[in-house]
Structure 1
Amino acid sequence: MASLNNASWTTGLCGCCDDAGSCCLTFFCPCVAFGRIAEIVDQGATSCCVSGTLYLALASLTGMGCLYSCCYRSRLRGHYGLKEKPCADCCVHWFCEPCALCQEYRELKHRGFDMSIGWHANMERMGKGAPTVAPHMYPGMTR
């Protein structure tokens, strides 16, 4: 079942002035900001370091880090049912990469994440612990 994307972002795309720290981080060190966003959006499946390094490599070698980062914007929107606003995710990242990353960073902060500690520490801090996985059942393999 597809989620309806009609929730509004907690801040606007150009709301950087509301959070000078996030603004500076995404402007001067976008690979760090992206790495932190990716780790939270991936729910700890990828590390901040790996995602940030891949983003830096793509941005440095091809100038196309935005193609990688726009996918995470789409996933973030899907997870929280956010509107694709002001235009398509790829366009937002293509034309205003720093603003897009800053908005995503602020969105996660406003949703209660401490962006500097990563997914697992946030889950502990929120009292959710590590996600549990149900044991696999193998019917027909009994003694």
Structure 2
Amino acid sequence: MANQEEEACPLLHETLAPAAEEKIPQPRAPVAASAPPVKANPAIWTADGMPVSHGSVVGEPAARAQWDSSLFACLGRNDEFCSSDLEVCLLGSVAPCVLYGTNAERLGLRGGPGSFANNCLPYTGLYMLGNSFFGWNCLAPWFSYTSRTAIRRKFNLEGSCEACSRSFGCCRGHNFEDEVTREQLESVCDLATHLLCHPCALCQEGRELRSRLPHPGFNGRPVLVMMPPMEQNMGRGA
């Protein structure tokens, strides 16, 4: 009966409702497992919009390689190649036009195989003009320094500015991280190297090309020798 009276009295129901709500345990939301604290590591981006990962830029070009021989290694190493370093040194001292023509032909400048004359004749004309009017070979380096730039780009070699910065600590004020700025500085250094040390530059390029590229006129394909079949005798059955 008491339960029925409580249900019939609305005032009693209103007074008991808050107490009932306090006694009834409310279901708790499941507590997720506490994750370990994550350190704030904001992404670092370069000016070109490339993300930096582990101290290096994603998509960064490979490191520059060094030349096979130094600029003043006149006699080189006399290795196993057909054109020895001594031959390169003699050509650079006596006939630089021939050495430049072979270097350009091997590199593929101004044509492929058979472009020796296209490179040698212009160099010879500038060589004769420079020696006739100025007393030294000052015009041909303006024509031949592009071969040094092409060799650097083809084999990703270290430039003169980077070599001086690594060895002597100079040129450290320049920004070598910028590809455009570095290439402009290296092109100027290539021209300066040919103007100041032209025979040595030609010899260094000749040694580098002979150690990396075969001559385009050399046919290194293997020769297949066809042997005639042996004579076969057919025997009669018994």
Using structure 1 for the length normalisation, give the TM-score: 0.74
Find the counterpart in structure 2 of residue 66 from structure 1: 141
Question: CA offsets, 1:77-96, max 9 Å, x none?
Answer: 10010111257100110000
> Aligned partners of 2:211 and 2:159: how far apart in 1?
18
- Higher mean alpha-carbon deviation, 79-88 vs 33-42, is at 79-88
Query: Residues 44 and 54 (structure 1 numbering): CA distance in 2 closer, same or farther, change over 3 Å?
Result: closer
Rg larger for: 2
Kindly indicate whether the alpha-carbon contact (under 8 Å) linking 2:109 and 2:147 is maintained by their aligned counterparts in 1. Answer: no
Query: Residues 28 and 67 (structure 1 numbering): CA distance in 2 closer, same or farther, change over 3 Å?
Result: same
Kindly indicate whether the alpha-carbon contact (under 8 Å) linking 1:5 and 1:78 is maintained by their aligned counterparts in 2. Answer: no
> Aligned partners of 2:221 and 2:123: how far apart in 1?
28
Kindly indicate whether the alpha-carbon contact (under 8 Å) linking 2:106 and 2:213 is maintained by their aligned counterparts in 1. Answer: no
Kindly indicate whether the alpha-carbon contact (under 8 Å) linking 1:6 and 1:82 is maintained by their aligned counterparts in 2. Answer: yes
Query: Residues 81 and 64 (structure 1 numbering): CA distance in 2 closer, same or farther, change over 3 Å?
Result: same
Alignment root-mean-square deviation, CA: 2.5
Using structure 2 for the length normalisation, give the TM-score: 0.46
| 2:136 paired with 1:41 | no
Query: Residues 61 and 110 (structure 1 numbering): CA distance in 2 closer, same or farther, change over 3 Å?
Result: same
1:9 is paired with a residue whose SS is: coil
Q: Give structure 1 stretches of 5+ with no counterpart.
A: 128-143
Kindly indicate whether the alpha-carbon contact (under 8 Å) linking 2:110 and 2:119 is maintained by their aligned counterparts in 1. Answer: no
> Aligned partners of 2:159 and 2:62: how far apart in 1?
11
Greater than 6 Å deviation, 4+ residue runs: none
Find the counterpart in structure 1 of residue 182 from structure 2: none
> How far has the Cα of 1:125 moved from its partner?
2.0
Aligned length: 121
Bigger helix share = 1
- Higher mean alpha-carbon deviation, 30-39 vs 15-24, is at 15-24
Q: Give structure 2 stretches of 5+ with no counterpart.
A: 1-58, 77-84, 131-137, 165-188, 223-238
Out of 213, 220, 223, the position equivalent to 1:125 is 220
| 2:178 paired with 1:83 | no
